[in-house]
Amino acid sequence: MKDFELFSKPEESFVFEAVKDDFELLSETEEKFVFETVKKNPGWFLIGIGILITLVTPSFAFLQGLFYSGNIAYSVGQAIAPLIFSGAVVLCFQIGKSFRNNKSRLKIYFWTMVVGLFSSFIQFIRMISALG
């Protein structure tokens, strides 16, 4: 049996909470509190930073690829690679049950994109130092 389960009856506005075989009757306001705390949505700041890093990382990778080869197709591939890799990492994390909410997905995506940005930046610095 799970440690924490929520049961609700449709005819009543109460929720029964079973925690290790201890039953407790919750009122309607407590029910809303329980469901709001279980629901994990990312904040606007995290969403904004996620959008910003999504725009910056592929752009920088595109410019790095263009500077390296001069070929547009190679540069587009360089720009798409961080997006595909971040998506694959998020999908791999979906195995764990605690990572199956939007806030966790966005955090994993954000940190994977940050690592991709640093990787592109280091490659760019290496290319410039090799030229000079």
Question: Binning pLDDT at 50, 70 and 90, where does residue 16 land?
Answer: very low
Residue 79 sits in the same domain as residue 103: yes
Is residue 108 within 8 Å of residue 44, measured between CB atoms?
no
Residue 18 sits in the same domain as residue 75: no
pLDDT digits (tens, 9 = 90+) for 77-113: 999 999 999 999 999 999 988 888 888 899 999 999 9
Domain total in the chain: 2
Residue 14 sits in the same domain as residue 49: no
Report the candidate in 28, 3, 2, 4 with the shortest Cα–Cα distance to residue 14.
28
Residue 78 sits in the same domain as residue 115: yes
Domain hosting residue 92, numbered range: 44-131
Residue 54 sits in the same domain as residue 84: yes
pLDDT digits (tens, 9 = 90+) for 41-91: 888 898 899 999 999 999 999 999 998 888 999 999 999 999 999 999 999
